[in-house]
Structure 1
Amino acid sequence: MADFERIAFVASETRDAVDACAALVKRYGNAPPAEADAIVALGGDGLMLQTMHNHMHSRIPIYGMNRGSVGFLLNDYKKNRLKERLAAAEITVIHPLRMTVRDVKGAAHEALAINEVSLFRQIHQAAKLKIAVDGTTRMGELICDGVLVATPAGSTAYNLSAHGPILPITAPLLTLTPISPFRPRRWRGALLPNDAHVLIEALEPDKRPVSAVADHTEFRNVASVEIAEASSIDIFMMFDPGHTLAERILAEQFGY
């Protein structure tokens, strides 16, 4: 059983999160994140996502406690026995997506996404997109509000709202989900192997401008977007036994 003597705390700006952080720091101290055995994030799912982005390359496990609203990615908040909870926690390893954007001026941009990479129409006109998977064109023209590629961890977020499938957290899959498709009207998307390389090109980008978003990083007026799993990056999420992310995703499919 690992020792968790050095704990780093981060909190959102809400009063509940700030007060909880102060109480925990008083009891357990507050190590610099780079020297910590674990990072404890206090807030909602947004704060947890931000914390994972901020420490994506550190390989330090992150344990979230809910001091926000939704808390799908978080454990229950309790002040007592935190070190024992950390020692008993189960770890889920996830990998982000790497988004490489080329804009209409030819400039390249890159960002990482834990949940999903999304493309959206920028104006009143629908986007026209072309989709290739591993070098083969699979959709010559998709007229839609947008499209997204989601990880298993992100499949219960925006992807689910767009009627995409929920993926078990350990499934070696990505989901490709259209957002309000107009043509082909009945296309519901596709499941892809997690090592797939997806290329999405904007057709008529001057007339129908498109933006691309990796979680909360946005680039506008894109010409093409390449998406692939960044399998070399490991993010370690910690959950109390019986309340793992795998269990939560499974439960979500049954409506509770």
Structure 2
Amino acid sequence: MAKRVVLFGGSFNPSAKHHRVLAEALASQFDHVIVIPCGLRPDKLTTNDTLSTDRAAMVDMNFRGIPNLEVDLFDLENDDFTRTFELSEKYKHLGEVWHFVGTDLICGGGKGESVIEREWGHGPEIWKDLNFAVAERVGFPYDPSDLPPHSIVLKPPYSGSSTEIREKILKHRPIGDLVVPEVGAYIDRHNLYLGRLPRASTMLNLGSPRIKIVVDPENPKAVAISHSLSNLEDTENPNLIVVVGGDGTMLHAIRNFWRLRVPFLGINTGHRGFLLNNLEVEKIREILSEGLIAWQSPLLYVESKRGDGSVNSGLAFNDAWAERASGSTAWFTVKINGTTKIQKLVGDSILVSTPAGSTAYARAMGATPLLVGTPALILVGSNIGEPPGWKSAYIPADAEVEILNADSSLSNKRPILGFVDSVSVGEVRSMTIRASRTAFVELAYLPERDLAEKLMEIQFPVQKEDQ
């Protein structure tokens, strides 16, 4: 018997308790629930008023822990609105596909006048052919004749509206009964739905720390610190990830746990530890209960196209790059937002870095690093022969960079390799790199931690005096 898979799509702006109740009801009746927050919607402009990164974070928080449920962020990542008939095609390999709808969308179906039939793409066809799980929405009573031909009705009726929540926030009214605590805290900390511009940093007050510890097991000092914090650990429901080690440990933690959507606090027991804090061991517990500053840092979304036409997608916290795969220098074409900026760049490699990753390979290649939170990306080359004198450039944070192999010869004498956070994706024909629309982390620092001063230390290391 085929698995029954139900798709739960929506704007989720914000994702709220009534969405979670519906998802739990679906999970009790179907084998698998897939929540799909939509991207850009021409018919629902309020969806576009909230950053996709914020909607993605709140969706992950709201649905966490529901069995047999996954959140698929592909629409948000692509800034797209995939129609219902296309979703059926996309997921049909998983089993028998069902679509969740409320009665507000099926009222009038008995007369061929439902919203689905009148306004949705291929409306009459999907009404007749697709499977629908229908929930009665308070305020939208229905006649049984309104139900689609292939449908079931969920009980009990539900109420709730994201519009109502946004309006309450704007009027400074409490919403604690409408959203889960994690979503409420996120909205409050980021000042969402108040008509204010987004901020690169926010104040983080944990109250009672519930931490998940990630430690460098090869560093005795790091292991000792982690043991001293073990009674604060809550691996099931953390509100902070404490990383004890060096920048490499932080990178490992981010790769594995960014979708927990809680800030990362680094405790440096390594070398420079640009992404971490230098803390006195005896004060760590006290600091965890005090206020911190959380800086938002995007991950890079990278699509690598191979010679056979297949595309590999991945995320990078630090950087992504293409480099020569043979003894000959590589030829690259560089496009930004679809416009060719360098027709033929001759060199060993070219790299795109986030500000948080700019103290790593980007700096080693000659670029001046940026502060975490700077609204820019770095583009830098290594051993560049052409164009003469070109080394690096700062580009807008929302720019899309395309790096192509400019060697168009049939023999492909100058192959290039792609790397995403130092992980090889093999030989590529092109790489498209931009800030992710769904993936980011928040890096927590002490209020007195001067990131600019740390950057100065890295660029101007103290030299030992001659003996």
TM-score exceeds 0.5: yes
Compute the displacement of 1:221 (Å).
0.8
**Is 1:143 aligned with 2:349?**
no
Distance in 1 (CA, whole Å) between partners of 2:343 and 2:219 is 50
* Alignment equivalent of 1:22, drawn from 221, 227, 238: 227
Please, which of 168, 179, 190 is the counterpart of residue 382 of structure 2? 179
Within 5 Å, give how 1:33-112 maps onto structure 2. Answer: 34-86=236-288, 87-112=290-315
User: Is this contact kept in 2: 1:4–1:83, CA < 8 A?
Assistant: no
Q: Any idea what SS the aligned residue of 1:156 has?
A: helix
Deviations 1:45-102 (A, max 9, x none): 1001111121112211111111223312111243334343123221111111111000
The amino acid of 1:201's aligned partner reads L
- Structure 1 distance, partners of 2:368, 2:269, is 28
The residue number in structure 2 matching 1:243 is: 449
Alignment deviations for residues 144-192 of structure 1 (CA, whole Å, 9 cap, x no partner): 0000111111122111111112223332111111111122231122221
Q: Which amino acid aligns with 2:254?
A: M
Distance across 2 between alignment mates of 1:8 and 1:191: 35
Mapped contact 1:7–1:29 kept (Cα < 8 A):
yes
Instruction: Verify the 8 A CA contact 2:294 2:442 in the aligned structure 1.
Output: yes
* Pairwise CA distance, 1:15: 3.7
TM-score (norm 1): 0.91
Kindly report structure 1 stretches of 4+ aligned residues shifted beyond 3 Å. Answer: 244-247, 250-256
* 1:8 maps onto 2:219 in alignment: no
Q: How does 1:201-216 map to 2 (within 5 A)?
A: 201-204=404-407, 206-216=412-422
Q: Which has the larger radius of gyration?
A: 2
CA spacing shift, 1:50–1:246, aligned 2, 3 Å = farther
Q: Distance in 2 between matches of 1:251 and 1:171?
A: 18
What TM-score, normalized by structure 2, do the two folds share? 0.51
On the 8 A contact 2:275/2:356 being kept in 1, the answer is no
User: Does the Cα contact within 8 Å between 2:300 and 2:434 map onto a contact in 1?
Assistant: yes
Residue 24 of structure 1 deviates from its aligned partner by 2.5
In structure 2, the CA distance between the partners of 1:169 and 1:246, relative to structure 1 (3 Å rule), is farther
Shift, 1:235, TM fit: 0.7
1:204, distance to aligned residue in structure 2 (A): 2.7
- Equivalent residue letter for 1:132: K
SS at match of 1:84: helix
Instruction: Output the CA distance in 2 between the equivalents of 1:6 and 1:166.
Output: 33
Match runs of 1:122-201 below 5 Å: 122-201=325-404
Q: Which runs of 5+ in 1 are unaligned?
A: none
Would you say the 8 A contact 1:12–1:42 is kept in 2?
A: yes
Provide structure 2 residue ranges, at least 5 long, that are not aligned to the other structure.
Answer: 1-204, 463-467
1:190 is paired with a residue whose SS is strand
Q: Deviations over 1:4-36 (max 9, x none)?
A: 3311111112142223322332xx34221x411
Instruction: Pick closer, same or farther for the CA change 1:11–1:175 going to 2, 3 Å.
Output: same
Contact 2:266 2:277 (C-alpha < 8 Å) held by counterparts: yes
Is contact 2:347-2:381 (8 Å) kept? yes
% same residue: 29
The one-letter code sitting in structure 1 at the alignment partner of 2:377 is L
Q: How many aligned residue pairs are there?
A: 253
* Alpha-carbon distance between aligned partners in 1 of 2:234 and 2:260, rounded to the nearest angstrom: 15
- Checking the alignment, whether the CA contact within 8 Å between 2:214 and 2:242 is kept in structure 1 is yes
Q: Which amino acid aligns with 1:70?
A: R
| RMSD, aligned CA | 1.9
- Report if aligned partners of 1:119, 1:211 keep a CA contact under 8 Å in 2: yes
Moved more, 238-247 or 167-176: 238-247
SS in 2 for 1:221: strand
Residue 280 of structure 2 aligns to a residue whose secondary structure is coil
Q: Is this contact kept in 1: 2:213–2:241, CA < 8 A?
A: yes
Amino acid in the other structure paired with 1:36 = P
CA contact (8 A) 1:169 1:249 kept: no
| Residue number in structure 1 paired with 2:110 | none
